[in-house]
Chains A and B, each alone.
Chain A
Amino acid sequence: MSTAEIQYIETPRPDTGLTNGKIGIWLFLASEVMLFGALFSAYVLLRVGAETWPAGREVLNVWLALLNTVVLISSSVTMVFAWAALLKNDFGGHKKYLALTLLCGLIFLGIKAIEYSGKFSHDLFPSTNNFLAIYFVLTGLHGIHVVGGMIVMLYFLLFGRKNWEQRPTMYTNRIENTGLYWHFVDLVWIFLFPVLYLL
């Protein structure tokens, strides 16, 4: 192992009991909690400070959002299956589940694009009112996170085999960390769906 390499990416660090990669991803997720938390606070402030506030389900398409919720939850399951397949030394199965997760991400973005274009065609833009402003900011930022996760998955699908063959534990840990990020993106949507669409 070269000295320039990040330490403890395969075996856990004795004092934390975790690999450095896992500590890193959890620290990153902590910063993400603050980012989305600040925007959720902005939503609450805008809502309590407004004289009138539209019911989300009268402005937005609940059924498309419900479909997207199911798609994202399904993608979390396929992601965890992709990791479990590696533990069973089944790289073929892993690639299949990772590709399915990527497909779910693509479907999610496609449905989101239909939703956005529906709003734009009715002249509903972020500048229309505060509700739509915070709706587009929150769902847009969440969408960017979905794209980020998909880029990482695509990288592993295209170039992961070499890493798996040379250092399987390292690759498995990388997929676990990718999964932690992807589940967090799912977790954010779990709150966005009722807050924006149903309440």
Chain B
Amino acid sequence: MDPQTATIEEINRHVKLYLGVFAALLVLTAVTVGVAYIDLGHGANIGLALVIATLKASLVGFFFMHLKWERRSVYGLILLTFFFFAGMIGLILGGYWDTPTGTVHDRVAIEIHTTHDDTGGSE
């Protein structure tokens, strides 16, 4: 909808659409809570919760933030944001899971473990 040229009928149609999105968001919120109490396995519970949250976020973005009717330049901006966001998450988490073994952290952990065993043995 172009705000400059929108007719009353067009605006009223959009208002109805917003109410539909509101109802969908409420249903998805109930589903989020419901599935959290069903034990699907740790990973599946997390994955499903994030999928539903992404779906809800998309509804808010596409309809309430008007992305469905937005210009291409906004999409370019969002794509750029997503690139940097994914890069940041990737570097931070990648750094955590890519820590090589035999680092100073492992040696400290081994020392703590050894000290703990020694103390335990002398008692």
Q: Which residues of A contact B (CB under 8 A)?
A: 12, 16-18, 22-23, 26-27, 29-30, 33-34, 37-38, 40-41, 44-45, 48-49, 57, 62, 66, 69-70, 73-74, 76-77, 79-81, 84, 87-88, 169, 172, 176, 179-180, 183-184, 186-187, 190-191, 193-195, 198-199
Contact = CB atoms under 8 A, between A and B. Distances in A.
The interface residues of chain A, by DSSP majority, are classed as: helix
Nearest to A55: B36
Nearest to A48: B96
A37 B6 contact: no
Interface string B67-78: 000011110011
20 contacts: A27-B77, A30-B80, A34-B81, A40-B89, A70-B29, A73-B25, A73-B26, A77-B18, A77-B19, A79-B64, A87-B3, A87-B6, A88-B8, A187-B60, A193-B29, A194-B36, A194-B49, A194-B50, A194-B53, A199-B36
**Which residue, A69, A73, A81, A179, has most C-beta atoms of chain B within 10 A?**
A73
The 5 A-B residue pairs with the shortest CB-CB distance in the complex, in nearest-first order: A198-B36, A17-B71, A194-B49, A30-B81, A41-B92
B98 to A, nearest CB: 13
Interface of B: 3-4, 6, 8, 11, 14-15, 18-19, 21-22, 25-26, 29, 32-33, 36, 45-46, 49-50, 52-53, 56-57, 60-61, 64-66, 71-74, 77-78, 80-81, 84-85, 88-89, 92-93, 96
Nearest to A180: B65
A66 B33 contact: yes
Given A180-B65, A187-B60, A193 B8 contact: no
B71 A198 contact: no
Nearest to B18: A80
